[in-house]
């Protein structure tokens, strides 16, 4: 009478012990929030109506029987989201005490609350809740056949898949679910899995990092050459194509940290392109029609570049030329400002000093050769151009520094966020 729960006294619940072995994690679908795994479910219970004396039956201690002849507890997994494709006519072992052990293989497509924020360094905690459809606690109580630790260890040693996901551990807790007036016994297993990030690190993070590094290094291309902007534009284009191609690898729902990282890389590139445009504009302005330089800017320039400056220019600073002591070696004068004056100044500080006292000659320019009257306007303009060029280079260095600072801080922030998850 397999239609009825086999029990002698109907007010005594059937005790059903379950355990399982997880043998593969086949797929985790972040969009549908599904985990597909493969497991062997083992269900054990007593049937008090099956009993024999092994001595009378030729020492047979246990028999296999088809499940069609037995009452089977209806254990199901609550998170199950697919039709059960388990073959129906399976066998079960029955021993002489009436203890029935029933194994069935299951491909479990279970719903799992996936948090992809830390993708691709994420860990997921999927639950498998075993319970009965119809039997309440008065009729069926669930127990554990093995400790969760044992289940975890056998699964870890048996697991076949070397795919994207690694099984970390399996934990268990027991709970009763209340629905209306009836209570159902449940056993909840927490399956902790971790993604192997190497695929994503190699395909997503490294190329991004390289492109941003090249973008940062391209600041060393001279701004005057006009190569910098096209170079950066090509990089930006390449990065866009890269993002388009790699879009398939990203989870589609939610905003993982990696998307923020990509957006950050892209904006760094855009910002650096804008900076290049700005500097190019500034240089163009400086070389074609330099506007008069505001005094504050001028003093700022003087202040920041005075140790490298070769031409004392303002009348009140005329004695600057005297500062050119022999300690000012040519090596000290590297950088774009070196072109400010003909090299004669550097070599003949005493000439400069001798000419200083005559105000007519050095009122606006300390360069002795350009002090002659016909060339004065020309020289003045050239000087202004030089100042603006100097200013552009200063701005370039400053913005490059800010760019590096922003890049370093944001990337470190992202990495720290990723690492906090790992510590956990
Ligand atoms: C069934 O079990 C309950 C509780 O253990 C007990 O009170 C009752 O007498 C039993 N009934 C029979 C018929 O044995
Ligand atoms: C279920 O397991 C418990 C201990 O874990 C044990 O006492 C009980 O006999 C088991 N029941 C069956 C039906 O195997
Ligand atoms: C999984 O989640 C459950 C409850 O949400 C928690 O008790 C358990 O510790 C988590 N396990 C892991 C490995 O994070």
- CA–centroid distance, 138 to ligand 1, in Å, is 13
Residue-level pLDDT at 92: 92
Q: Which ligand is nearest to the CA of 173?
A: 3
Q: List the residue whose alpha carbon is closest to atom 7 of ligand 1.
A: 11
Higher pLDDT, 319 or 276: 276
Q: Residue 216: which CATH number?
A: 1.20.58.390
Q: Does residue 19's CB lie within 6 angstroms of at least one atom of ligand 2?
A: no
Distance CA 239, CA 207 (A): 9
Higher pLDDT, 323 or 64: 64
Ramachandran category for residue 59: left, alpha or beta (phi over 0 → left; psi -120 to 50 → alpha) = left
Residue-level pLDDT at 183: 92
Q: What mean pLDDT is predicted for residues 131-141?
A: 91
Mean pLDDT of the chain: 82
Distance CA 243, CA 255 (A): 15
Q: List the residue whose alpha carbon is closest to atom 1 of ligand 1.
A: 9
Q: List the residue whose alpha carbon is closest to atom 2 of ligand 2.
A: 145
If asked whether residues 277 and 299 sit together in one domain, one would say no
Residue 42 has pLDDT above 90, yes or no: yes
pTM reported for the whole predicted model: 0.76
Instruction: Please give the tally of structural domains in the chain.
Output: 3
User: Of 302, 12, 277, whose CA–CA distance to 138 is shortest?
Assistant: 12
- Contact by Cβ (8 Å): 366, 309: no
Domain boundary among 196, 221, 243: 196
Q: Does residue 8's CB lie within 6 angstroms of at least one atom of ligand 1?
A: no
DSSP 49-114: T----TTTTTT--EEEEEGGGS----EEETTB-S-----SS-EEEEETT-EEEEEEEEEEEEE---
Domain membership of residue 158 (yes or no) is yes
Q: Does residue 192's CB lie within 6 angstroms of at least one atom of ligand 3?
A: yes
Higher pLDDT, 176 or 306: 176
Ramachandran category for residue 226: left, alpha or beta (phi over 0 → left; psi -120 to 50 → alpha) = left
How far from 203 is each of 54, 209, 245, 247, CA to CA, in Å?
63, 11, 10, 11
- Contact by Cβ (8 Å): 377, 223: no
Within 10 angstroms of residue 20's Cβ, the number of other Cβ atoms is 25
Q: Does residue 190's CB lie within 6 angstroms of at least one atom of ligand 3?
A: yes
Domain membership of residue 406 (yes or no) is no
Q: What mean pLDDT is predicted for residues 324-339?
A: 39
Least confident span in 194-203, 212-221, 246-255, 351-360: 351-360
Express each pLDDT in 73-107 by its tens digit: 989 899 998 887 877 768 899 999 999 999 999 89
Residue-level pLDDT at 422: 58
How far from 71 is each of 11, 44, 105, 382, CA to CA, in Å?
18, 12, 18, 101
Pairing, β 140-144 against β 14-29: parallel
- CA–centroid distance, 191 to ligand 3, in Å, is 8
Higher pLDDT, 369 or 279: 279
Q: Does residue 11's CB lie within 6 angstroms of at least one atom of ligand 1?
A: yes
If asked whether residues 122 and 238 sit together in one domain, one would say no
User: Of 122, 139, 113, 148, whose CA–CA distance to 35 is shortest?
Assistant: 113
The ligand 3 atom nearest the CA atom of 123: 14
Burial class (CB in 10 A: 0-12, 13-18, 19+), 213: exposed
The ligand 2 atom nearest the CA atom of 99: 13
pLDDT category of residue 263 using cuts at 50, 70 and 90 = very high
If asked whether residues 37 and 128 sit together in one domain, one would say yes
- CA–centroid distance, 142 to ligand 2, in Å, is 9
If asked whether residues 171 and 185 sit together in one domain, one would say yes
pLDDT category of residue 306 using cuts at 50, 70 and 90 = low
Question: What DSSP designation does 80 have?
Answer: B
Express each pLDDT in 144-169 by its tens digit: 999 999 999 999 999 877 888 999 99
If asked whether residues 136 and 256 sit together in one domain, one would say no
Domain membership of residue 144 (yes or no) is yes
User: Of 243, 258, 247, 248, whose CA–CA distance to 116 is shortest?
Assistant: 258
Domain boundary among 143, 172, 196: 196
- CA–centroid distance, 143 to ligand 2, in Å, is 7
- Contact by Cβ (8 Å): 50, 70: no
Residue 325 has pLDDT above 60, yes or no: no
Q: What percent of the chain has pLDDT over 90?
A: 48
Q: Does residue 17's CB lie within 6 angstroms of at least one atom of ligand 2?
A: yes
If asked whether residues 308 and 395 sit together in one domain, one would say yes
Domain residue limits at 92 = 14-196
If asked whether residues 268 and 333 sit together in one domain, one would say no
Q: Does residue 88's CB lie within 6 angstroms of at least one atom of ligand 1?
A: no
Q: With H, G, I as helix, E, B as strand and everything else as coil, classify residue 259.
A: helix
- Contact by Cβ (8 Å): 25, 37: yes
If asked whether residues 230 and 304 sit together in one domain, one would say no
Residue 193 has pLDDT above 90, yes or no: yes
Domain membership of residue 9 (yes or no) is no
Domain membership of residue 261 (yes or no) is yes
If asked whether residues 52 and 94 sit together in one domain, one would say yes
If asked whether residues 232 and 204 sit together in one domain, one would say yes
Residue-level pLDDT at 31: 86
For the chain, state the CA radius of gyration.
Answer: 40
Express each pLDDT in 393-409 by its tens digit: 999 999 999 999 999 99
Residue 162, C-beta contacts closer than 8 angstroms, at least 6 positions apart: none
Residue-level pLDDT at 374: 66
Domain boundary among 177, 196, 215: 196
Residue-level pLDDT at 331: 39
If asked whether residues 189 and 205 sit together in one domain, one would say no
Domain membership of residue 252 (yes or no) is yes
Domain membership of residue 209 (yes or no) is yes
Q: List the residue whose alpha carbon is closest to atom 2 of ligand 3.
A: 125
Residue 358 has pLDDT above 50, yes or no: no
Domain membership of residue 420 (yes or no) is no
If asked whether residues 130 and 257 sit together in one domain, one would say no
């Amino acid at each position: 009478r397999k239609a009825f729960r086999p029990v002698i006294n109907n007010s005594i619940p059937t005790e059903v012990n379950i355990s399982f072995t997880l043998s593969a994690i086949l797929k985790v679908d972040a969009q549908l929030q599904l985990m597909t795994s493969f497991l062997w479910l083992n269900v054990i219970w007593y049937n008090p109506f099956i009993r024999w004396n092994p001595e009378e039956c030729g020492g047979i201690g246990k028999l296999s029987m088809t499940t069609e002849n037995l009452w089977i507890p209806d254990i199901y997994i609550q998170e199950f989201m697919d039709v059960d494709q388990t073959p129906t006519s399976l066998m079960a072992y029955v021993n002489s005490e009436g203890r029935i052990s029933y194994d069935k293989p299951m491909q479990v497509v279970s719903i799992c609350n996936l948090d992809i924020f830390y993708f691709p360094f994420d860990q997921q905690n999927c639950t498998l809740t075993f319970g009965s459809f119809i039997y309440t606690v008065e009729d069926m109580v669930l127990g554990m056949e093995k400790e969760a630790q044992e289940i975890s260890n056998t699964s870890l040693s048996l697991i076949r898949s070397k795919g994207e996901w690694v099984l970390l551990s399996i934990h268990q807790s027991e709970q009763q679910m209340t629905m209306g007036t009836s209570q159902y016994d449940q056993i909840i297993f927490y399956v902790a899995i971790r993604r192997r990030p190497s695929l994503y690190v190699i395909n997503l993070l490294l190329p991004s990092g390289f492109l941003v590094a090249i973008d940062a290094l391209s600041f060393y291309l001279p701004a005057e050459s006009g190569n910098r902007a096209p170079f950066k534009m090509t990089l930006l284009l390449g990065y866009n194509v890269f993002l388009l191609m790699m879009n398939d690898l990203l989870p589609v729902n939610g905003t993982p940290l990696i998307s923020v990282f990509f957006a950050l890389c892209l904006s760094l590139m855009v910002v650096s392109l804008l900076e290049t445009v700005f500097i190019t504009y500034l240089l163009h302005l400086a070389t074609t029609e330099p506007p008069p330089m505001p005094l504050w800017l001028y003093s700022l320039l003087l202040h920041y570049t005075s140790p490298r400056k070769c031409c004392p220019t303002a009348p009140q600073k005329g004695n600057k030329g005297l500062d050119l002591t022999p300690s000012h070696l040519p090596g000290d004068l590297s950088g774009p400002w070196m072109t400010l004056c003909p090299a004669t100044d550097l070599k003949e500080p005493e000439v400069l000093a001798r000419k200083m006292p005559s105000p007519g000659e050095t009122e606006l320019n300390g360069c002795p050769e350009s002090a002659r009257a016909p060339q004065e306007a020309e020289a003045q303009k050239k000087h202004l151009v030089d100042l603006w060029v100097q200013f552009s280079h200063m701005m370039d260095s400053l913005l490059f520094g800010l760019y590096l600072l922003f890049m370093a801080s944001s990337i470190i922030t992202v990495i720290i966020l990723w690492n906090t998850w790992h510590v956990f």
